Amino acid sequence: MPSSSPDMPTMIWLPDLVEQAENFEKFFGDSKSKVRKARNIWLLNYRNQGSSDHHESYDMKEMSDDIVRFMNEN
């Protein structure tokens, strides 16, 4: 869910390793959501989950690097 207002703080939501970020779209995407009114929200999947990129390897270092790369690019 891309940012909507540059003057609000940004929150990155990472689900646990067995749940997909898409499962939280209804919670965070609801226009009545108090969190949505106070934060820009990015819902991220770890690699090889949901709509994320799929790779042959997926250790913790690589997944951490993916998140840092995302933050630097966005």
Per-residue confidence band for 3, with pLDDT thresholds at 50, 70 and 90: very low
For the beta carbon of residue 23, count every other beta carbon within 10 angstroms.
Answer: 11
Q: Give tens-digit pLDDT for 33-64.
A: 788 888 888 988 888 777 777 888 878 899 89
For the beta carbon of residue 66, count every other beta carbon within 10 angstroms.
Answer: 18
50 by Cβ neighbours in 10 Å (0-12 / 13-18 / 19+) ranks as middle
The full set of domain ranges for the chain reads: 10-73
* pLDDT higher than 70, residue 22: yes
* pLDDT higher than 50, residue 21: yes
Per-residue confidence band for 4, with pLDDT thresholds at 50, 70 and 90: low
* pLDDT higher than 80, residue 72: yes
Least Cα distance to 46 among 72, 28, 69, 30 occurs for 69
